[in-house]
Amino acid sequence: MGKVGWIDSHAHIAYQEYQKDLSQIIDRAIERNVSRIMIVTLSETETKRALQLNKRYGMFDVAFGFHPSDLDTIPENGFKLLEDFLKEGKLSAVGEIGLDYYWHKDNKEEQKSIFIRQIDLANQYGVPIIVHMRDAAQDTLEILRNHKPVKGGIMHCYSGSVEMAFEYIKCGMYISLGGPVTFKNAHVPKDVAKAVNIERLLIETDCPYLTPHPFRGKRNEPAMVELVGVEVARLREIEPEKLMEVLSQNYSGLFEIE
């Protein structure tokens, strides 16, 4: 198993906006006991950047996939690109992929077929998936049941119900909580944090979005995953160190880190 520390299971630090002060961002993360970060990339440029970064720091995993809100911008050679990265063993996961009916209700069938196609690729190359799901709980569940992710995966920044969380877990998924669990009125994520079996939990920042309390409005970054962890530990009435240990095990188990 990898080093014990806070693990940010979803961070977009390959975005252009982070590049000017990235070394300080990493320093701050290490200072806050962050031991590993999953960089989720949305393009070839970002994927290459993330792989390059990992050569320097050795504390990153890289996921690449086509986000359901970005289907119009998938390049013509998109699936070949994705498959080439997988073939070369460069990706730890395919993601983020999934369904988003909040932003797009008019292309549900296309979203579904591109989601399924990417699950098939993940299964073919033996890696987990990272799922983005918004206002599409039932369709996402049906797809995961009928196209089971062989290596499992993560429901990222999970915003669904407790009941559905258990259904996704049955499909091999982990439930990852982000900044919203720290918001005062976010009752549902708090309930999920308490209810889900601890062996199936992960945490994340989804930075630059969804900055945890009390820094809402500021740019999010991996160092802030600690705030998510401390709140989840409080809700579960365990020591943050204990939670850190279990989540490190969960992540190592999912991504087969020795």
Contacts with Zn ion by CB under 5 A lie at 206
> Closer to Zn ion at the Cβ: 46 or 206?
206
Q: How far is the CB of 257 from Zn ion (least distance, A)?
A: 21
Q: How far is the CB of 96 from Zn ion (least distance, A)?
A: 5
Min. distance of Cβ 157 from Zn ion in angstroms?
Answer: 7
Minimum Å gap between C-beta 237 and Zn ion is 29
- Of 42 and 233, which CB lies nearer to Zn ion in the complex structure? 42
Residue closer to Zn ion by CB (options 157, 201) is 157
SS (H, E, C) the chain: CCCCCEEEEEECCCCHHHHHHHHHHHHHHHHCCEEEEEEEECCHHHHHHHHHHHHHHCCEEEEECCCHHHHHHCCCCHHHHHHHHHHCCCCCEEEEEEEECCCCCCCHHHHHHHHHHHHHHHHHHCCCEEEEEECCHHHHHHHHHHCCCCCCEEECCCCCCHHHHHHHHHCCEEEEECHHHHCCCCHHHHHHHHHCCHHHEEECCCECCCCCCCCCCCCCCHHHHHHHHHHHHHHHCCCHHHHHHHHHHHHHHHCCCC
Nearer to Zn ion, 61 or 206 (CB): 206
